[in-house]
Amino acid sequence: MMRRAAGSVRGIATAVLAALFVALAGTGLHRQAVVWSGVEIPWGVAAALLLLASVQLWLAAWSRSVVPAAVAGVVSYGVVGVLSSAGPAKQLIPGDTVGNVWVFGIGGVTLIMLVVISRLVLSRTRPERTAAAAAVGEPLSPQ
């Protein structure tokens, strides 16, 4: 029991550190854009949200639990919320379209990743229904 509790604390502590990294790196990355044929394409916000999703998937695979991924999403959202709520002169995330996609996209990506991760964890714990498993469970009938 103590070993499992220590693993949970370690997973949550790692999730907090990973969330701080994602929030700061994503905030620096989300404003990046490229001009292509006169149209500005904001690729940074997509890369920042992909970074969040990959870190959440890594945390879930490393800890074999959904909890660190959820903690990472909540902490990232909180840190980005603090960074976006500073005064107008100190605000790192302005309230324009790209800034809103970054702030509110964290919640959306976190919800999507929690569903994906929970399905992956559940599918790993369920016995596989293959032809061999079906043959063991259902003996051949006489013909």
Find the largest Cα–Cα distance for the chain.
83
Q: Residue ranges of the domains in the chain?
A: 2-123
**Which percentage of the chain shows pLDDT scores above 90?**
52
pLDDT in tens, 26-43: 999 988 899 999 999 999
Torsion of CA 20, 69, 102, 35, to 10 degrees: 90
Block means of pLDDT (10 residues each) for the chain, 143 residues, are 65 94 93 90 94 95 91 95 79 80 94 92 58 56 59
pLDDT in tens, 102-125: 999 999 999 999 999 998 876 665
